[in-house]
Chain A
Amino acid sequence: MALRFEILGRFNRARAAQLTLPHFVCQTPLFMPVGTQGTIKGLTADQLEEIGCQIILGNTYHLALRPTSELIDELGGLHKFMNWPRALLTDSGGFQMVSLLHLADITEKGVTFQSPVDGKPMLLTPEESIQIQNKIGADIIMALDDVVKTTITGPRIEEAMHRTLRWIDRCIAAHKRPHDQNLFGIVQGGLDPVLRDICVRGLVDRNLPGYAIGGLAGGEDKDSFWRVVAQCTATLPEDKPRYVMGVGYPLDIVVCSALGADMYDCVYPTRTARFGTAIVPEGVLKLKHKAMAEDTRPIDPTCACMVCKNYTRAYIHSLVTKDAMGSQLLSFHNLYYMMQLSRNLHSSIVQGKFPKFVCNFLQKMFPKGDIPEWVCNAMEVAEIDISSCCAPFRYIQATKVQSNLNEDEIQAV
């Protein structure tokens, strides 16, 4: 175990913690930007530090291709190669393999695929994934799991869950640096609570430094999504970090934090920036839109980032999709937003103001009170009272679903 996880504050299931990793002391809940190929698109390490990034994600698949894990190892590890002084997390490489390479196939041995370089058949085993990640040197490494899309049904899901458990043992055995790299297990099992439960218990038995909830953020409906997160956070150990992979939208992060998750990653903020979309408290702002050409307001008047302090929507509009600077500035703002969201989550939980923060957040995003039902349901389970931001009719609808009140009692509410 190469980390310390200390809970500093709680609100029901939500927790704010200090996560001490070999390269950095982090505060959770936190969002990790994805630096696929050893860089966050268009931003320097200095800028990332300035906006408050604590952990960056590197993609093992991409880095193993170029510049190769051997080269990274030879030059002293990814931290040194990128000159990033804070924490790094690498994924197992499995996800990209399955999602990027048609003709990839999963067997008990590992993931077989065609090399994108020369078409030769290749095999990524749990052992090799860990070996590559040992060379890259991130503070947190991920086990190779058998990941299936949540939209798939049938026996494949159960097969994948059991295989994930068999592979975690192979990952643990292959891990040569447990003293400075933390191996996280990944809970699979699709949308089936029974399978998820088996997987959680299996992973917890292995006493890993941290646990991820995988297999989500792939197109399943939101109602199923939050229920899986809720179930996992209820049964994973309290004193270890919980990482929901591939999440995501700010709303999803707030809900998952309310349910007791601590870490998140997603390409969304930087990817949507490249399409000219800014993340704002109200949701999104599409800078490409013609109306932006005359709009002399900042992207978000409440945002303290360099972009919002200096530039108008009109100017950014003139840049987006045409000049590299446009996506750079928007990436900067979007990541700043996500870092600020992380900071707000952490501090509001520590200060005992979490429900107020959540209500505020929802009010800005849903000024008419039309909060989606799945959010209401999730907050109900998280025991966060958001009645003040729901339009009265919607709130009753939600509670009707959850509670056992009969018709007469509901009228009285």
Chain B
Amino acid sequence: MKFAVKAWSNGRARAGILHLGTSTIDTPSLLLSTRKGLPHFISPDLLSCLPSPESRLLHVSPLHFLEGLSMKTISKIGGLHQLLGLHDHCFVSVPRDSIQCLPEANSTNKIGASFETPCGRLLIKPVEYMEMISSTRPELWATLADEVPAWVSDKRNKTSVDRTIKWLDECISLSPASGAVFGAIVGGSSLEERRRCAQEVATRNVSGYWVGGLGLGESMDERPALLNAVIEALPEEKPRLICGLGLPEEILQGIAAGVDLFESTYIYHLTLGGFALTFPLDRTQINALNLAPSDVGSDPRKINLRATVFRKDTMPIVEGCTCYTCRNHTRAYINHLLNVHEMLAQILLEIHNTHHFLGFFRLIREAINAGRFEEFRKEFVQRWR
């Protein structure tokens, strides 16, 4: 893995280039969320219709495979690339997936990190986690962390930092030859603990940093200070990955603090709910914005295609959008699919939403490169208040 910062805007926001596996990816960038390595709905042969190379970073939680596939078998098959038939993509392994594998801080103990998963509550020891990493062979992986929600006691929070650092060292010592390691940083909502953890991890031999424990109960207002406390302690030249920040405003918050990579479940939740992103990505789309306020309720950034107003709407989700869904299908058709509970609805929505959200990241990178990220951020937040 190689990473270099190419441009700065407004102090901390940065644009960079990440070389990972066979891909060269501009940052800030988005990791697509997966289930057992494949998108939730988009079948693998349709992945190539997403913009490339931006869509090549896939977040994989190794815990997904505990349901039905042994690590020995995965190893025998040859790791994730062979298992999933995706040779052009890059896999980033983080145990938490913010959808179905959620850290269970009450059950985590000194032996391992506890997660609520579809197979029940699992306790993952560092040695077990590293076995998963060795078998799956992702290009990049985060060390095992003790993530706690914002409301735990100071004592519990401090313990989580101590544990996370201890597990980091264990994971590194068991680390396979290939694959870049990102050190996990926690600390809950304590500025002190966040700083302490970041400072410790900064001294370790890692390729980058994974900021964990956010999106677990802290408010958006608290977050900038917490992020700054962490980022200030980290070297500039190494990339920073964060999970738990899903909404566009949260992404902007993270970028403003100096984060480069985001694992977000926003697309998944939108898709499940029948929502499609519609906020304009360029001038022509802003002009073509043809949504009457009454049509879309209180949020003009997205439409809910279940709404009866779309029954006969022969427009694509977003006019001018070049995604597979918008080039081929109408709002009316997707509305019908949603009404009759057909899987194709989610497939088409996930394609559009992924395409659109990746477009958002492209706009962000353009703004950073042009030195006007703060301006872009203010305008975005203002327009869609």
Residues of A in contact with B (beta carbons under 8 Å apart): 37-39, 41-47, 50, 62, 66-67, 71, 74-75, 81-83, 293-294, 296, 306, 309-312, 314-315, 317-319, 322-325, 327-329, 332
Contact = CB atoms under 8 A, between A and B. Distances in A.
Given A293-B73, A306-B44, A44 B36 contact: no
Q: Identify the interface centre among B46, B84, B118, B332: most chain A CB within 10 Å of its CB.
A: B332
Contacts of A329: 43
Given A67-B311, A318-B67, A324-B41, A83 B329 contact: yes
Nearest to B332: A75
A71 B311 contact: yes
Given A45-B328, A311-B85, A39 B342 contact: yes
Contacts of B35: 323, 325
B342 A323 contact: no
A67 B68 CA distance: 39
Interface stretch (B10-18, B101-109, B190-198, B333-341): B333-341
Contact of A41 (B38, B69, B73, B342): B342
A107 B44 CA distance: 50
Contact of B36 (A74, A323, A332): A323
B45 interface: yes
**Chain B residues touching A, range:** 35 or more
A319 B36 contact: yes
Contacts of A324: 40-41, 343, 346
A327 B346 CA distance: 14
A203 B225 CA distance: 81
B69 A314 contact: yes
A293 B344 CA distance: 28
Interface in B71-106: 73, 76-77, 83-85
A325 B347 contact: no
Contact of A296 (B40, B77, B346): B77
Contacts of B311: 67, 71
Nearest to A319: B36
Contact of A39 (B70, B332, B337): B337
Contact of A294 (B45, B70, B324, B342): B70
Interface string B129-147: 0000000000000000000
Contacts of A318: 36, 65, 67-69
B43 A47 contact: yes
Nearest to B328: A83
Contacts of B36: 315, 318-319, 323, 325
B205 interface: no
A325 B340 contact: no
B85 A41 contact: no
Given A66-B339, A71-B311, A306-B45, A317 B69 contact: yes
Contact of A75 (B41, B312, B337, B347): B312
B41 A296 contact: no
A175 B333 CA distance: 27
Given A44-B46, A44-B344, A322-B118, A66 B68 contact: no
Contacts of B84: 310-311, 315
Interface string B9-44: 000000000000000000000000001101111011
A75 B314 CA distance: 8
A71 B333 CA distance: 11
A188 to B, nearest CB: 30
Given A47-B45, A311-B84, A317-B68, 6 more contacts: A44-B348, A67-B339, A293-B69, A306-B44, A310-B44, A325-B35
Contacts of B83: 312, 315
B43 A82 contact: no
A296 B76 contact: yes
B67 A322 contact: yes
A344 B173 CA distance: 56
B38 A325 contact: yes
Given A75-B314, A296-B76, A314-B73, A42 B68 contact: no
Contacts of A74: 312
Contacts of B346: 324
Give 7 nearest A-B pairs by CB, closest first: A310-B85, A318-B68, A318-B69, A42-B343, A37-B340, A39-B344, A67-B336
A68 B84 CA distance: 40
